[in-house]
Structure 1
Amino acid sequence: MSSKNDYISERMATKLFQNVLALAFAISEVNGDPKLLPNVTLGFHLYDSYHNMMLTYRSILDLLFKSHRLAANYRCTTQKNLISVIGGLGSDVSSRMADILGLYKIPQLTYGSFALEERDTSQSSRFFRMVSNETHQYSGIIQLLLHFKWTWVGLFVVNDESGNRFLQVVEFLFSQNGICSAFTNRIPSQPFWQQKYSTSDLGSTSDLSFIRSKASVCLVYGETMTLMWLSTVLATVVLGDKETTLLGKVWVLTAQIDLALNSLQRGLDFQLFHGTIAFKIHSKEPAGFQKFLQNITLLGMQGNGFLKDFWEQAFDCSPDFQEPGKTSDTCTGEEKLESLPGPVFEMSMTGHSYGIYNAVYAAAHALHIMYSSRLNQRAMLKGGKIEMQDLQSWQLHHFIKDVLFNNSVGETISFNENMELGMGFDIINVITFPNTSFFKVKVGRVDPDAVDGKPFIIDEDLIEWHKDFNQALPVSLCVDCCPPGYRKEKKEREKICCYNCVACPEGMITYQKDMEDCVKCPDDQYPSKNQDGCIPRIISFLSYQEPLGVSLACMALGFSLTTAWVLGTFIKHRDTPIVKANNRNVTYILLVSLLLCFLCTFLFLGRPVKITCLLQQPAFSIIFSMAVSCVLAKTITVVLAFLVTKPGSSMKKWVGRKMTNSVILSCSFIQGGIVVVWLRTSSPFPNFDHHSLAMEIIAECNVGSVLMFYIVLGYMGLLSIICLTVAFLARKLPDTFNEAKFITFSMLVFCSVWVSFFPTYVSTKGKYMVAVEIFSILTSSAGLLICIFFPKWYIILLRPELNKREQIIRRKD
């Protein structure tokens, strides 16, 4: 690589000269390394694309076909030998360069991150990209926006082919990830000073609608000139408007952009970009680079023509020492680069400079290997010197492709199958100061090949935002977030990021902001009052620890003891006429049945388990059927006893123990048969009901077959109706101890209780349903006990004089 300084734009941003100095630094290191390319001196040519495709072609043709003998700061005895080209920064320039360089098979190493368009894929073998593909940067941008939940984003895109490709890709990625572009401003590809715009014309050539946009985040895509144009527009038009408040925005810059100002922009307020988030090509600082920059002076490098132009722009002075009156000030030649503010010149190595630095070393290592190869080396002895055969640039392709080395900072340099270095991108936060200087803080990383499996990392605690946000996380949304308890509903003819918030229907929740759909809580939870979360549901059953359960248990125990007392009294006075008068064996069976009825209510209390569920309804139905059967047997006995007393009655043979036993056994066995069928087909089992009550899970005994349950209840109802009918018909029979009157009243109570039981039972849920059944069992059983046995118990204990045979055989007048 020989050198020549040809076309350099007069208005080229001074900060871009750092790339040139990085190139010079790398070449000086290579030339000073005795192990790398010994006896070979590298030089370089500089050409400017002028941000114009036609001039790009012209520069490449000049490079190929114009002869130059002098290299900047070097003197060689041979003509230039072009072996590779480093550039350009953007895809448009790089592609145009490849159009010509590809014809001559000259290796091209690019230091800008960009994605190739379809027509360039066939040329990818001529591109050796020193940075990661721009597609990885797209992924990083999306991850950044999603991380901070920025869904309403403004776009500033350079108005050229690369900008068009960027818009196509990013709009597609936005739609896939629920992000919308609030506006899209196209920035001229040519700087305004080249288009000769006046400051007053900037407002008319720029779409300033973004000033009123709710988008707090603006994504800028382009090159350094793009940001320079944008900063001028913002400073001279937006901030100059008294009706416009200070523009608090989060600027997100792509990796092609350097924070730079030129000599025309020195007076601009760079603090507008305080808090900027910028993607930066991964870089490290080679040892000696800062010292190299610190030692550069105009007097010390007067042979470099490009440095003279740079000095004039950077220090705003005339480097012509012979004619000091040409500009307002004359350079002393001793100015130091470190005195320049950051936007004019940055003393650390940028991502682009690092790419150029590695590109020089990649070409140098490939050239070294090619020189060392026996197949490509021929020495000819002439006059005591060894002259190497001239090399052809096309021969270098293979060696660059397979190059592998560690650079001076210890990073491995090698190309992957796509002919690029997979170093990824750094994410930096720009902190500006009133003196136009700034500081870059690395806050994240985008590395698709990360060994830890985390391609995107961001530490938001390190980020300092623009002062308008008061260090709170900026919000960039079309509408305020839908709070938990609400869901998003799309607006007609609006982008998906602009929506209405609609409350969730009853029984459903949203537990995060901006959820698309409401969801149901798990079965063991229920929605909170604001429908923004789920609360664990308690398991509900009728327990002994609550007042209702204790009350029912006490009632059951009290009636059980009373029944046992009555039974004991009747057994003690078993030989008295009043006990013997109405079939005392049936009386005992009835009292035992009522005692069991009261005790079976304890099966309904407490948490249901398998054994209690199996016993609850079957035991209740059989015991109650036996009790009603006893009452029926007593009623039939009364009727038959009256009929037997009539002269010539044939009913005498039906009166006796055999008849009563038959009634009790037959009625009970029928119910028992129904219960057996029930247990064999679909027996009751413990179950959790998640649906009947919103805030509780009901622990219940599922009856299994609902049909069999109602058949059992229906059979008991049938027996009750028969008993009530018979008793009602026998209520006026002339007998002193005629039980039919008491049985009629008791069966009225019994039937009233169970008739009212059905609607109440069906309309209640959970433990209250169980309480209704227990209460019905207790009251109906108590009705039988009190109505049938209390009069007799009263006579036995309190009126023993009535408990005589004479009273039994006495007839009413």
Structure 2
Amino acid sequence: MKLFIAFSLLIVLIQFQEQISCFSLSIPPSLGYYQDGHFVIGGLFSLRVTARDKRIKFGFNDTMSIPEAVIMDLTKNYQLMLAMVFAIEKINKDPNILFNMSLGFYLFNVDFFETKAMESSMALLSGESPPIPNYSCRPEKTDKLVAVIGGISTGISTQISRVLSLYNVPQISYAPFDLSLGNRVQLKSLYQFPVHNAALYQGIIQLLLYFTWVWVGLVVPDDMRGELFIKEITEEMINHGICVAFAEKGPVFPSFVDIGWYRLIIRLTLTRVVIAFGDTHDFLTLVSLIISCATFGNIWITTSDWYTTVLPFNQNVIYTYFGGALSFSVHKDEILGFKNFQRSVHPKKYPHDIFIQHVWSILFECPHLYEHGVRKLSQCEQNGSLSTRSLNVWDMNTSPLSYKVHAAVYAIAQALHEELSLSVNGDSLDQGGLQAPLPWKLHPFLQKGKLGRSNNEENIVNQEDSATKIDIFNYHSLQSGTKAQVKVGEFLFESHSVQHLSLNEKLINLDVYNNQIPFSNCKRSCPLGFRKTQDGWYALCCYDCVPCPTGEITNETGMDQCIKCPQNQFPNKQRNQCLLKITAFLSHEDTLGVVLVSMAISLSAFSAMILGLFICYRDTPIVRANNRNLTYVLLVSLMLCSFCSLTFIGQPRTVTCVLRQMIFGVVFSVAVSAILAKTFIVVMAFKAIKPGSTLQMWMVTRLSNVIVCCGSTIQVFICAVWLGTYPPFPDVDMQSEYGQIILLCNEGSTLAFYCVLGYLGFLSSLSLLTAFLARRLPDTFNEAKPITFSMMVFCSVWISFIPTYLSFTGKTMVAVEIFSILASSAVLLGCMFLPKCYMILLRSGGHFRKKVFKWIL
């Protein structure tokens, strides 16, 4: 039933706006409440919300009167009038403030309508209602006007100031502070109360951080205040890691087809925490919407201008659905004696107050009748008191707006006091000749900013206090109805670096969540081993979780960046902890090391056996062919090549790192040079035996020796340059292998290393080309064919070595080079000497067998 009532109210609010605009209404006379005094302060207040045609024009002479459609009676706003009357009565009782002179007032109800506020402002200046523009009908009223207090919203304050600024009449607005009003030249008479935006923003942000609410929505009025709030607080929230889920701007009375509210409903379902910035009247429709859609379970954070106790809804309804809301209000003390004053208020005490008749009839549900457009009470409770009314219609506590009105009266009274002090002659004051000062003479005193009040406190207008204390309230749904808000904490702000938030969580009542702090984030925190990814504007709140890259960890949830492990450590599989790396190198104990060592020793032993065999049969034609000395050099160099591979195995040290590549390069250059010399002998031998050739065999033999010496000497020179410039040295590799620190030999100059290999490649290519050209020469002992085949395989091994070597790291890289050394040595040994061994052993007949038996016996 209650939800139905709230939803019906929402429909009525929207329908009245659309349907009433069909009529052409004339503005009826605005009746005011006047009390005479030596000085008169005007007051413009809003006691109800009415639906009127926005297209109407001023027509004060029209007699046509159509009743206004009252959408909502804001009975609690009558407290603002009482605050003004109470302040004036206290000032009149103090002879020291105005030198035994009195203050009067002229109060108007402008509803919540800017056109009516403009008309009432003109009525204050002309002394009549309806007013006659630019004409004073009653000088006894208008000449006493010194200042005006009003209005309740920025729009109403602006329209009032447009009129009063023409006559330079001071106006103190109790509406929320609007920075744009101070920048308008035509509103030069307008004064506003202090703004505490920095304190308010920081207080809200600290509260959000306290509860880890980092995904929140914003609802603001569709004006400059709302734009400025979104801009400023969004920047602060982003700096503190808080994201704005949405920022919705809406008018007080939206159109029925306004898509903005439908979009807001969808967003409320996805966002748990919503900040509502603005005064209560900016969100009259929104409150009805919240009550109608109460299943969202949102936590509302409101500003000091959001005062829900003003709303004339049933208490149980409004506080049930705002049960978890938190409100920020600048700290203030209760106005001394104001509650007792409210208890004493009665229509009989103020018979000329036309507004109390209307309010009283609503508060006490009294029968009434209209007389000249004014509601008159016929029967009502004789001893009725405002203190007996429930919170949904009246609150005895001082509202923020009432506090401002009371302070504004004292600000004007203090300005009058200072102006009158200038007219004092000696110790006496000629009261009979003293007249009300012209209104614009109060501007210098109001602009000073420091204005006294009755309780000796200070109020600053248009300035901001250096230290601000903000009270934090929690809306409670109390069965007794004695309280609507409970103070649960406070925020003290001195500067961005000096601020303190204190909360009493035991007092915070979150009914919609069974007092459990709700979760308000776009996504839960990333687990250990994962980090957040950037996602544009909402990177802080809406993010994806990706695993940490290799070598990095996260040891806490929700981390933005992964932590890189030290070089001597590596992450575990979960990537939430760094572990110590183990050192690794190709050692003799490794399976791969054992295999390579065995292969190297076996190949060296096999080379030694062939060398022994060739020495034993050194006088045979097959051994003597092609220079047996070159054969011995080649076999010795191949044996050393196999042995040099052993220097690559074991923990790298300075000696082994320096010698292993040098020995490898020099020994292999000797072997390949010997092969080139043997090929050269084959070619030159056929030329030497041709008829008429002057070339002798002894010359060919000597040239072959020169080839071996020159080929190896050039390699020695390259290695010497390498050693003299940037020699190899022991090094560590901490990145290539996961979880390992690889001990290796850094080659120093990579260019020198590839020069050594390139030179070997040059010798091999030259030998291959020479052998290929001599492969068809006829001779029984022609070695061109086996040399051609062996050099082809040799070149293939080392050509494939380079990409393979570069594609591996650590121990595998060393193993690849060792394997290439052994494979190339085995190819040369097998292709060039195994056929000769076969011929020596198998074709020598019984001569070899006899020698074998002789050795055995």
Do both proteins adopt the same fold according to a TM-score greater than 0.5, normalized to the shorter chain?
A: yes
Residue of 105, 118, 125 corresponding to 1:57: 118
* Cα contact 1:404–1:414 (8 A) shared by 2: yes
How many Å apart are 1:122 and its aligned residue? Answer: 0.6
Number of the residue aligned with 2:16 = none
SS of the equivalent of 1:84 reads strand
How many Å apart are 1:109 and its aligned residue? Answer: 1.7
Number of the residue aligned with 1:15 = 76
Q: In the superposition, relative to structure 1, how do residues 276 and 526 fare at CA in structure 2: closer, same or farther (>3 Å)?
A: closer
Q: List per-residue Cα deviations over 1:439-470 (Å, max 9, x = no partner).
A: 245678697xx523489989897976561698
Q: Which runs of 5+ in 2 are unaligned?
A: 1-38, 49-71, 130-139, 369-375, 571-580, 839-845, 853-857
Residue of 510, 527, 542 corresponding to 1:514: 542
**Deviates most, 566-575 or 163-172:** 566-575
Once the two structures are superposed, the pairs formed by residues 168-317 of structure 1 within 5 Å of their partners are 186-188=251-253, 209=262, 213-216=266-269, 223-232=279-288, 238=292, 246-251=295-300, 253=302, 255-261=304-310, 265=314, 268-278=317-327, 280=328, 282-286=330-334, 289=336, 292-294=338-340, 296-298=342-344, 303-304=349-350, 308-309=356-357, 312=360, 315-316=363-364
**Deviates most, 47-56 or 358-367:** 358-367
Number of the residue aligned with 2:665 = 621
Once the two structures are superposed, the pairs formed by residues 26-425 of structure 1 within 5 Å of their partners are 39=100, 42=103, 44-66=105-127, 81-115=144-178, 121-132=184-195, 148-150=213-215, 157=221, 163-165=222-224, 186-188=251-253, 209=262, 213-216=266-269, 223-232=279-288, 238=292, 246-251=295-300, 253=302, 255-261=304-310, 265=314, 268-278=317-327, 280=328, 282-286=330-334, 289=336, 292-294=338-340, 296-298=342-344, 303-304=349-350, 308-309=356-357, 312=360, 315-316=363-364, 318=366, 330-333=381-384, 335=385, 337=387, 340-372=389-421, 376-378=423-425, 390-404=436-450, 413-415=459-461
Q: In the superposition, relative to structure 1, how do residues 446 and 96 fare at CA in structure 2: closer, same or farther (>3 Å)?
A: farther
Number of the residue aligned with 1:467 = 512
* Cα contact 2:790–2:827 (8 A) shared by 1: yes
1:717 counterpart = 2:761: yes
SS of the equivalent of 1:47 reads strand
**Distance in 2 separating the partners of 1:19 and 1:5:** 9
Q: Percent identity?
A: 27
Residue identity in the other structure for 2:172: L
Number of the residue aligned with 1:195 = none
* Cα contact 2:490–2:503 (8 A) shared by 1: yes
**Distance in 2 separating the partners of 1:621 and 1:67:** 116
* Cα contact 2:775–2:785 (8 A) shared by 1: no
Residue identity in the other structure for 1:14: T
Q: List per-residue Cα deviations over 1:625-649 (Å, max 9, x = no partner).
A: 2343356567878999999999999
1:662 counterpart = 2:706: yes
**Distance in 2 separating the partners of 1:740 and 1:357:** 119
Residue identity in the other structure for 1:653: W
How many Å apart are 1:433 and its aligned residue? Answer: 0.8
Q: In the superposition, relative to structure 1, how do residues 368 and 351 fare at CA in structure 2: closer, same or farther (>3 Å)?
A: same
SS of the equivalent of 2:268 reads coil
* Cα contact 2:668–2:760 (8 A) shared by 1: yes
How many Å apart are 1:397 and its aligned residue? Answer: 1.0
* Cα contact 1:220–1:251 (8 A) shared by 2: yes
**Distance in 1 separating the partners of 2:814 and 2:325:** 68
**Deviates most, 38-47 or 88-97:** 38-47
**Distance in 1 separating the partners of 2:82 and 2:656:** 91
**Deviates most, 212-221 or 561-570:** 561-570
* Cα contact 1:211–1:247 (8 A) shared by 2: no
1:754 counterpart = 2:801: no
Residue identity in the other structure for 2:404: G
**Distance in 2 separating the partners of 1:587 and 1:342:** 112
SS of the equivalent of 2:759 reads helix
* Cα contact 1:430–1:439 (8 A) shared by 2: yes
**Deviates most, 6-15 or 667-676:** 6-15
Residue of 489, 496, 505 corresponding to 1:452: 496
Residue identity in the other structure for 2:441: Q
**Distance in 2 separating the partners of 1:342 and 1:211:** 29
Residue identity in the other structure for 1:330: E
Residue identity in the other structure for 2:757: L
1:653 counterpart = 2:698: yes
* Cα contact 2:342–2:396 (8 A) shared by 1: no
Residue identity in the other structure for 2:425: R
Number of the residue aligned with 2:4 = none
Once the two structures are superposed, the pairs formed by residues 717-736 of structure 1 within 5 Å of their partners are 717-720=761-764
Q: List per-residue Cα deviations over 1:642-677 (Å, max 9, x = no partner).
A: 999999997553487x66653333112333455678
* Cα contact 2:326–2:475 (8 A) shared by 1: no
* Cα contact 1:618–1:675 (8 A) shared by 2: yes
SS of the equivalent of 1:624 reads helix
Q: Which runs of 5+ in 1 are unaligned?
A: 69-76, 158-162, 190-201, 240-244, 491-495, 498-510, 795-801, 809-813
SS of the equivalent of 2:343 reads coil
Number of the residue aligned with 2:584 = 544
State the superposition RMSD in angstroms: 6.7
How many Å apart are 1:285 and its aligned residue? Answer: 1.5
Residue identity in the other structure for 1:514: C
Residue identity in the other structure for 1:293: K
Q: In the superposition, relative to structure 1, how do residues 328 and 37 fare at CA in structure 2: closer, same or farther (>3 Å)?
A: closer
**Distance in 1 separating the partners of 2:606 and 2:454:** 108
Q: Give the alignment's TM-score, normalised by structure 2.
A: 0.62
**Distance in 1 separating the partners of 2:348 and 2:666:** 118
**Distance in 1 separating the partners of 2:699 and 2:560:** 74
**Distance in 2 separating the partners of 1:25 and 1:614:** 101
**Distance in 2 separating the partners of 1:739 and 1:205:** 100
Q: In the superposition, relative to structure 1, how do residues 367 and 438 fare at CA in structure 2: closer, same or farther (>3 Å)?
A: same
Residue identity in the other structure for 1:283: H
* Cα contact 2:171–2:190 (8 A) shared by 1: yes
Residue identity in the other structure for 2:119: R
Q: In the superposition, relative to structure 1, how do residues 100 and 142 fare at CA in structure 2: closer, same or farther (>3 Å)?
A: farther
* Cα contact 1:526–1:536 (8 A) shared by 2: yes
How many Å apart are 1:94 and its aligned residue? Answer: 1.3
Q: In the superposition, relative to structure 1, how do residues 570 and 481 fare at CA in structure 2: closer, same or farther (>3 Å)?
A: closer
Number of the residue aligned with 1:74 = none
* Cα contact 2:146–2:438 (8 A) shared by 1: yes
Number of the residue aligned with 2:132 = none
How many Å apart are 1:51 and its aligned residue? Answer: 1.6
How many Å apart are 1:207 and its aligned residue? Answer: 8.8
**Distance in 1 separating the partners of 2:299 and 2:213:** 12
**Deviates most, 568-577 or 122-131:** 568-577
Q: In the superposition, relative to structure 1, how do residues 401 and 164 fare at CA in structure 2: closer, same or farther (>3 Å)?
A: closer
* Cα contact 2:727–2:747 (8 A) shared by 1: yes
SS of the equivalent of 1:775 reads helix
Q: In the superposition, relative to structure 1, how do residues 574 and 753 fare at CA in structure 2: closer, same or farther (>3 Å)?
A: closer
Q: In the superposition, relative to structure 1, how do residues 281 and 468 fare at CA in structure 2: closer, same or farther (>3 Å)?
A: closer
**Deviates most, 770-779 or 639-648:** 639-648
